[in-house]
A and B are shown apart, each in its own frame.
Chain A
Amino acid sequence: MSKKPTTGPALHKVIMVGSGGVGKSALTLQFMYDEFVEDYEPTKADSYRKKVVLDGEEVQIDILDTAGQEDYAAIRDNYFRSGEGFLCVFSITDDESFQATQEFREQILRVKNDESIPFLLVGNKCDLNDKRKVPLTECQGRAQQWGVPYVETSAKTRENVDKVFFDLMREIRSRKTEDSKSTSGRAKDKCKRRKLKCILI
Chain B
Amino acid sequence: MTETMKEFDRKDFRTDKYVKELVQECVGGSELQQRKSKIHSYYDQTSSALKKHVYANYMQFIETAKEISHLESEMYQLSHILMEQRNLLGKLRDGTGDSKKDLGSDETAEEDADDTQSLVAIKTVKEMVPGFTGSLENKTFLNEGALIELDANDYRPIQRVFFYLFNDILIVCKVKHDKKLEFLTQYDPTKIAVINIKDLDGVRNAINIITPDGSKILQCVTVAAKNEWIEKFEIAFKFNQLNKTKKITASKSKLIERQASSIDTKSITSDALLTPTEETASVSENWAPEWLATASEEIQALIAQRHFEDALSLIQKSEEFLEKDSTFWNSAEIAGKIKNLKTELSNVLIHELSIYQNRNLQATLRSTRRPLKLLGEMGKARQACATFLKVCTSGIRSAQREARRNNLEVSELFFCDLAEVATEFMRAFKSQAACVSCLVVWCNTELRYFASQLVKHYLTKGSQLEAVAKCVEGVRAPCAKLNEIGLDLSYHMEGLLRGTLEQIIEESRVRMLETVGRTEDAWQPYNLQTKSNLKSLLRDMEILGLDMSSQVTGDTWINLTQSTVNFCRHFLSVTESCAYLAKIETLKLNSEILLKDIFLAQHAIKPNPGITVDLNFVSRNKSYLVEELLPVAVKKFEKLSGRKNEVLSDVHLQLRGPPKPKPRSVYQTDVL
Query: B531: shortest Cβ distance to chain A, in Å?
Result: 47
**A177 at the B interface (CB under 8 A):** no
Nearest residue, chain B, Cβ from A3: B151
5 further A-B pairs in the complex, CB-CB below 8 A; given A8-B153, A39-B394, A47-B197: A35-B401, A35-B456, A39-B358, A44-B230, A78-B210
Q: Among A45, A46, A49, A81, which residue has the most Cβ atoms of chain B within 10 A?
A: A45
Q: Is there an interface contact between B195 and A79, defined as CB atoms closer than 8 Å? A: yes
- What is the CA–CA distance of A33 and B199 in the complex, to the nearest angstrom? 11
Q: Is there an interface contact between A79 and B210, defined as CB atoms closer than 8 Å? A: yes
Query: B147: shortest Cβ distance to chain A, in Å?
Result: 17
* Complex interface: chain B residues within 8 A of A71 (CB): 238
* Complex interface: chain B residues within 8 A of A201 (CB): none
Q: Is there an interface contact between B192 and A46, defined as CB atoms closer than 8 Å? A: no
* Complex interface: chain A residues within 8 A of B199 (CB): 32, 47-50
Taking beta carbons and an 8 Å cutoff, which residues of A are in contact with B? 1, 3, 6, 8, 32-35, 37, 39, 41, 44-50, 64, 71, 74-75, 78-79, 81-82
* Complex interface: chain A residues within 8 A of B195 (CB): 45-47, 64, 79
Query: B285: shortest Cβ distance to chain A, in Å?
Result: 54
**B324 at the A interface (CB under 8 A):** no
Nearest residue, chain A, Cβ from B203: A49
Contact with A along B226-237 (1 / 0, CB 8 A): 000010001001
**B191 at the A interface (CB under 8 A):** yes
Known: A35-B401, A78-B210, A82-B215. A47 touches B153 (CB 8 A): no
- What is the CA–CA distance of A50 and B405 in the complex, to the nearest angstrom? 13
* Complex interface: chain A residues within 8 A of B133 (CB): none
Taking beta carbons and an 8 Å cutoff, which residues of B are in contact with A? 151, 153-154, 158, 191-201, 208, 210, 215, 230, 234, 237-238, 241, 358, 394, 397, 401, 405, 456-457
- What is the CA–CA distance of A58 and B412 in the complex, to the nearest angstrom? 36
Neighbour of A49 across the interface among B191, B200, B210, CB < 8 A = B200
- What is the CA–CA distance of A82 and B212 in the complex, to the nearest angstrom? 11
Query: A146: shortest Cβ distance to chain B, in Å?
Result: 25
* Complex interface: chain A residues within 8 A of B401 (CB): 33, 35, 37
- What is the CA–CA distance of A44 and B201 in the complex, to the nearest angstrom? 21
* Complex interface: chain B residues within 8 A of A33 (CB): 401, 405
Query: B223: shortest Cβ distance to chain A, in Å?
Result: 14
- What is the CA–CA distance of A33 and B402 in the complex, to the nearest angstrom? 11
* Complex interface: chain A residues within 8 A of B241 (CB): 74
Known: A6-B154, A82-B215. A45 touches B200 (CB 8 A): no
Q: Which 7 A-B pairs have the closest CB atoms?
A: A78-B193, A6-B153, A48-B199, A45-B195, A46-B198, A47-B195, A46-B196
Q: Is there an interface contact between B210 and A81, defined as CB atoms closer than 8 Å? A: yes
Q: Is there an interface contact between B193 and A75, defined as CB atoms closer than 8 Å? A: yes
- What is the CA–CA distance of A42 and B253 in the complex, to the nearest angstrom? 37
* Complex interface: chain B residues within 8 A of A79 (CB): 193, 195, 210
Nearest residue, chain A, Cβ from B453: A35
Query: B191: shortest Cβ distance to chain A, in Å?
Result: 7
Q: Is there an interface contact between A45 and B153, defined as CB atoms closer than 8 Å? A: no
* Complex interface: chain A residues within 8 A of B457 (CB): 34
Q: Is there an interface contact between B208 and A47, defined as CB atoms closer than 8 Å? A: yes
- What is the CA–CA distance of A6 and B152 in the complex, to the nearest angstrom? 10
Nearest residue, chain B, Cβ from A74: B241
- What is the CA–CA distance of A47 and B203 in the complex, to the nearest angstrom? 12
- What is the CA–CA distance of A78 and B191 in the complex, to the nearest angstrom? 7
- What is the CA–CA distance of A75 and B209 in the complex, to the nearest angstrom? 12
Neighbour of A75 across the interface among B200, B237, B394, CB < 8 A = B237
Known: A74-B241, A82-B215. A45 touches B194 (CB 8 A): yes
* Complex interface: chain A residues within 8 A of B234 (CB): 44
* Complex interface: chain A residues within 8 A of B194 (CB): 44-45
* Complex interface: chain A residues within 8 A of B456 (CB): 35
Q: Among B199, B208, B215, B241, which residue has the most Cβ atoms of chain A within 10 A?
A: B199
Nearest residue, chain A, Cβ from B400: A35
Q: Is there an interface contact between A47 and B198, defined as CB atoms closer than 8 Å? A: yes
Known: A6-B153, A39-B394, A74-B241. A44 touches B196 (CB 8 A): yes
Nearest residue, chain A, Cβ from B230: A44
Neighbour of B210 across the interface among A3, A37, A82, CB < 8 A = A82
Known: A35-B401, A78-B210, A79-B210. A45 touches B198 (CB 8 A): no
Known: A74-B241, A78-B192, A82-B210. A47 touches B200 (CB 8 A): yes
Query: B571: shortest Cβ distance to chain A, in Å?
Result: 35
* Complex interface: chain B residues within 8 A of A41 (CB): 358
Nearest residue, chain A, Cβ from B198: A46
- What is the CA–CA distance of A48 and B194 in the complex, to the nearest angstrom? 14
- What is the CA–CA distance of A35 and B199 in the complex, to the nearest angstrom? 15
Nearest residue, chain B, Cβ from A51: B201
- What is the CA–CA distance of A46 and B208 in the complex, to the nearest angstrom? 9
* Complex interface: chain B residues within 8 A of A32 (CB): 199
- What is the CA–CA distance of A49 and B394 in the complex, to the nearest angstrom? 25
- What is the CA–CA distance of A47 and B397 in the complex, to the nearest angstrom? 21
Sample of 22 A–B contacts (CB below 8 Å): A6-B153, A8-B153, A33-B401, A35-B401, A39-B358, A44-B194, A44-B234, A45-B193, A45-B194, A46-B197, A47-B197, A47-B200, A47-B208, A48-B199, A50-B199, A64-B195, A74-B237, A75-B193, A78-B191, A81-B210, A82-B193, A82-B215
* Complex interface: chain A residues within 8 A of B198 (CB): 46-48
- What is the CA–CA distance of A109 and B118 in the complex, to the nearest angstrom? 40
* Complex interface: chain B residues within 8 A of A3 (CB): 151
- What is the CA–CA distance of A50 and B201 in the complex, to the nearest angstrom? 8
- What is the CA–CA distance of A3 and B237 in the complex, to the nearest angstrom? 33
- What is the CA–CA distance of A154 and B198 in the complex, to the nearest angstrom? 22
- What is the CA–CA distance of A32 and B199 in the complex, to the nearest angstrom? 9
Nearest residue, chain B, Cβ from A64: B195
Query: A49: shortest Cβ distance to chain B, in Å?
Result: 5
Nearest residue, chain B, Cβ from A36: B456
Nearest residue, chain A, Cβ from B405: A33
Query: B388: shortest Cβ distance to chain A, in Å?
Result: 16
Query: B1: shortest Cβ distance to chain A, in Å?
Result: 58
* Complex interface: chain A residues within 8 A of B208 (CB): 47
* Complex interface: chain B residues within 8 A of A44 (CB): 194, 196, 230, 234
Query: A51: shortest Cβ distance to chain B, in Å?
Result: 9
* Complex interface: chain B residues within 8 A of A64 (CB): 195
* Complex interface: chain A residues within 8 A of B394 (CB): 39
